[in-house]
Amino acid sequence: MAEVAADRACPTQAAAAAPADSGRLTRDVVVRTIGVTKEYVMGGSVTHALQGVDLSIHRGEYLSIMGPSGSGKSTLFNMIGGLDVPSAGMVFIDEVDVAQLDSYELAWLRCRKIGYIFQSFNLLPVLTALENVTMPMLFAGMHPDDAREKGAEILAMVGLGDRVFHRPFQMSGGQQQRVAVARAIANDPAIVLADEPTGNLDLKTGREIIELLLDLKSRMGVTIISATHDMKMLDVSDRVVWIRDGKVERIERREELRISVGTIDDSEE
């Protein structure tokens, strides 16, 4: 994490209550976007990456964000993760308006409320698996001894109890991604953001990582939000948000999806 979080109290600004999501889910809303727009100005041209996105994500939900390249999927993902701010509209994480936070408060939020999993793992190569996992805990102010103990427990939870002192180059791609998953949950976040978590893995290993995320969702009650092209994610997602041309094209529950080989809802993907 680029910024070391300051030990400051989290802001408590509340968002207005959102309308019920057609009665489909009754859990608390952990992420809400309201009219989110993102524009990038390059010279005399303006690119509209997002155009008025309204979305509610519920606590304990496994949500996949899908769409073609250039659809705005990654931009929305970055908004939800507090990695970017909207040109217009609001993003609430645990009822906190992200746009109202200063740099210290935003670092606090990202460190304690959000865990990140990246396609390329983003492990520090000179550190062991344990050291990579304990880093966010140390940033959050945990005592080093407690961080090491908890880190070892988490690595055992993700199936790497025998790889605690291995460095990334001594591990397979799947093992490195398991370390990344362990690091993401180190501070018991409310949300885990997984950006193409299976993109650099083979089919079998990718399935194992998906099943690991599903197990963590069930065991810890954490909200999993994945930006992906991987259709295997559909098997475990509670809902799928389809993004196209910077807008939410549709939102579907798992049981509503009509899947056939090579197609989704009779459209090639």
Residue 232 is predicted with a pLDDT of: 79
- Alpha carbon 140 to its chain centroid, in Å, reads 19
Nearest to 121 by CA among 189, 199, 67, 66: 199
Segment 213-241 mean pLDDT: 88
**pLDDT tens digits, 140-167:** 999 999 999 999 999 999 999 999 999 9
Nearest to 61 by CA among 237, 233, 232: 237
Residue 99 is predicted with a pLDDT of: 86
* Dihedral pair phi/psi, residue 6, rounded to 5°: -80, 145
Instruction: For the chain, list the domains and their CATH numbers.
Output: 29-268 (3.40.50.300)
The residue ranking higher by pLDDT, 199 or 1, is 199
Decide if 208 contacts 176 (C-beta within 8 A).
no
Residue 142 is predicted with a pLDDT of: 96
Decide if 242 contacts 67 (C-beta within 8 A).
yes
Nearest to 118 by CA among 183, 33, 190, 212: 183
Tell me the pLDDT band of 259, cut-offs 50, 70 and 90.
low
- Helix orientation angle between 144-157 and 173-184, rounded to the nearest 10 degrees: 130
Segment 198-221 mean pLDDT: 89
- Non-local (6+) Cβ contacts of 2 within 8 A are none
Decide if 49 contacts 39 (C-beta within 8 A).
yes
Average pLDDT, the chain: 85
Helix residue ranges, H only, the chain: 73-80, 103-113, 129-139, 144-157, 173-184, 203-220
97 forms beta bridges with 92
